[in-house]
Structure formats: C-alpha cells, structure tokens
C-alpha cells in the first residue's frame, strides 16, 4: 500500500480521537476491571488482590437481588411498552391523515427532554398522597369519578419500579414511532397492492407483510431501548431519590462508590453492567457489520 500525503494526513487527523478512546474508554474499562478485583475501600487506592470476592459478595447481597429484579421488571415493561406504543403511533400516522407532521412533532417532543426533567414532572404527576393532600393524576381521577384508578404509583410496595417505566415509555415511544414510520414509508406500495389483490384484509397485510419487513427496525429499537433501560439512573434518581425499594445497579454503584467509598464494589457493579449491555450490543454490532459488508 502506497502512503500518499492525503493518507498520512487523514491518519494523523483521526489519531487524537483514537488515542482518546483507547485511554478514556478501553483503558478505563481495564482499570475498572482491576479495581473490581481489589480491596479498595476508602479514599485512597488499595490494589491488594481480592480475586472474585467482590462479585461473590454482590451475588449474596440482598440489595443487589432487588437491583436485578427491578432492572428486569423495568426493562421488560419499558422495551415492550415503547415498542407497542411506538408501532401503534406510527401505523396511525401512516394512514395519511391531515396534520400528520403536527402530530409527528408532538409525539417526538418528549425525546428532546432530558430524563431529569421528565422525572421531576412525573414525580408531581404521580404524587401518591391520599386524602386532602391528593394531587397530580390521583386528583384528576377523583374528579373524573375514576376512583378505582387512584393508586400509590411508584410507592406501591414491591412493584413501584413498574410505574417508573410509565414516564420512560412516554419519553421514548415517540422515538420508536419515528423509527417505524421511516420503515413503513420505505415499504413499496406495490407490495400492499399485491396482497390486496390476493384477497388479504388490511389486518392480515400488517401481520404477514409489513411487520416481517419491519423486523430489522424492531431489532435496532430493542437494542437501543434495552441498553438505555439497563443503564437507567437519572430518571429514578429524579423521581425517587436514593431509596432501596426502587434501587437499580447504576444507583447502587453511585451510592456505594461516592457515599460509602466502596470503590471495589462500585467497580464490580460497573463491570457487571458493562457485561449485561455487551450481551445485547455485541451480537447486534456483528449483525450490522456483516449486513453492511454485504451491501
């Protein structure tokens, strides 16, 4: 390969970011891995070898069990909720109704807001106070005579985390809608017409023609939502603060590291989070790299 001036220049130009990524991403991952195998507890580093003890302690830690359970409930509800709602919105907008661009913008807007803002607003909306101090959704339900809908929201014992998924779905379903809408628009009209000629109902067209064609989009959306939900942190802190009932691994990592100086335990949680995201993302990356190579 001949190295001409342009090539050298381009390599030089990307070098700073490659170096930065090597140090600040991969270097620090390795360093976290090392800390997670150490006995570092306290302000100053202590790299004494602890083997897998930190991980074993975590697997026996009742608080970490709550974290895993909460993450699981949140992920399932959030991913499937956003996918279903997003698909429904996209299909409705795809009917060619008037004012489509207006609704498209409205549904997309929540995505422009940070999770902190969403959290603060929904903390008010989902106010669990009863009696005279009732407010938010609960008072709306009461005024409308829908008393059976009044509930404790995120303070529901054992299932509070399920209600945290509601604002998250509200925020991300518009994004899923945009993904699906793009996919729906790229499906050529002749395909639908062919199905109609063959006598398929509109419902059948969606289930047997359109949804299968949207499968790559569903996969990307699941990966994107899935890794967001595994890392969820700001939304929970904004709504619930630091409380064990609504704990997730990221909150535990933050609290144990910076409030309690358990750097070893914090690093172990960080590595477990990384692995759980990697399980989702790496197969997807391989898949998309391969399909790009085919193109």
Residues 134-173, interacting with other proteins (CB under 8 A): 152-155, 157-158
Q: Whose Cβ is closer to other proteins: residue 147's or residue 202's? A: 147
Closest CA to 170 of 214, 106, 127: 106
Q: Whose Cβ is closer to other proteins: residue 154's or residue 226's? A: 154
For the bound state, the minimum distance from the C-beta of residue 262 to other proteins, rounded and expressed in Å, comes to 6
For the bound state, the minimum distance from the C-beta of residue 104 to other proteins, rounded and expressed in Å, comes to 34
- Could you tell me which stretch among 127-135, 209-217, 220-228, 274-282 binds other proteins (CB under 8 A)? 127-135
Closest CA to 226 of 188, 178, 279: 279
Task: Note whether 208 binds other proteins by CB under 8 A.
Answer: no
Task: Note whether 105 binds other proteins by CB under 8 A.
Answer: no
Residue 126 CA from chain centroid, whole number: 21
Query: In this chain, which of 165, 232, 247, 271 binds other proteins, going by CB under 8 A?
Result: 247
Separation between Cα atoms, residue 255 and residue 260, nearest integer Å: 7
Query: In this chain, which of 35, 37, 50, 66 binds other proteins, going by CB under 8 A?
Result: 66
Residues pairing with 270 in the sheet? none
Separation between Cα atoms, residue 173 and residue 93, nearest integer Å: 14
In the three-class reduction of DSSP (H, G, I as helix; E, B as strand; rest coil), residue 293 is classed as: helix
Task: Note whether 127 binds other proteins by CB under 8 A.
Answer: yes
CA atoms lying within 13 Å on the CB side of residue 207: 5
Task: Note whether 261 binds other proteins by CB under 8 A.
Answer: yes
Task: Note whether 259 binds other proteins by CB under 8 A.
Answer: yes
* Alpha-carbon distances, residue 275 vs 4, 40, 251, 253 (angstroms): 41, 21, 17, 15
What tokens appear for 104 in the block?
Answer: 């498209």
What are the residues binding other proteins (CB under 8 A)?
Answer: 6, 9, 13, 16, 41-45, 62-63, 66, 123, 127-133, 152-155, 157-158, 240-245, 247, 255-256, 258-262
């Amino acid at each position: 390969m001949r190295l001409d001036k342009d090539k050298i220049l381009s390599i030089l130009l990307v070098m700073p970011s490659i170096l930065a990524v090597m140090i600040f991403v991969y270097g620090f991952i390795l360093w976290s891995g090392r800390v997670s195998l150490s006995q570092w507890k306290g302000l100053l580093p202590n790299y004494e070898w602890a083997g897998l003890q930190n991980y074993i302690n975590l697997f026996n830690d009742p608080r970490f069990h709550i974290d895993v359970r909460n993450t699981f409930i949140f992920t399932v509800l959030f991913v499937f909720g956003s996918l279903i709602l997003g698909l429904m919105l996209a299909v409705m907008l795809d009917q060619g109704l008037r004012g489509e661009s207006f609704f498209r913008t409205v549904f997309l807007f929540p995505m422009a807001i940070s999770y902190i803002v969403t959290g603060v607003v929904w903390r008010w909306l989902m106010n669990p106070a009863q009696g005279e101090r009732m407010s938010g959704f609960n008072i709306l339900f009461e005024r409308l005579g829908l008393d059976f809908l009044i509930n404790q929201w995120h303070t529901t014992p054992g299932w509070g985390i399920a209600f945290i998924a509601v604002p998250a779905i509200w925020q991300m379903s518009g994004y899923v809608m945009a993904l699906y809408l793009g996919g729906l628009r790229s499906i050529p009209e002749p395909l639908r017409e062919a199905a109609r000629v063959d006598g398929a109902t509109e419902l059948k067209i969606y289930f047997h023609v359109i949804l299968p064609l949207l499968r790559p989009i569903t996969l990307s959306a699941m990966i994107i939502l899935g890794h967001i939900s595994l890392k969820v942190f700001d939304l929970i802190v904004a709504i619930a603060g630091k409380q064990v009932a609504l704990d997730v691994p990221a909150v535990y990592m933050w609290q144990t590291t910076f409030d309690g100086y358990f750097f070893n335990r914090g690093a172990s949680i960080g590595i477990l989070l990384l692995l759980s995201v990697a399980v989702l993302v790496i197969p997807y990356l391989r898949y998309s790299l391969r399909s790009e190579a085919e193109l």
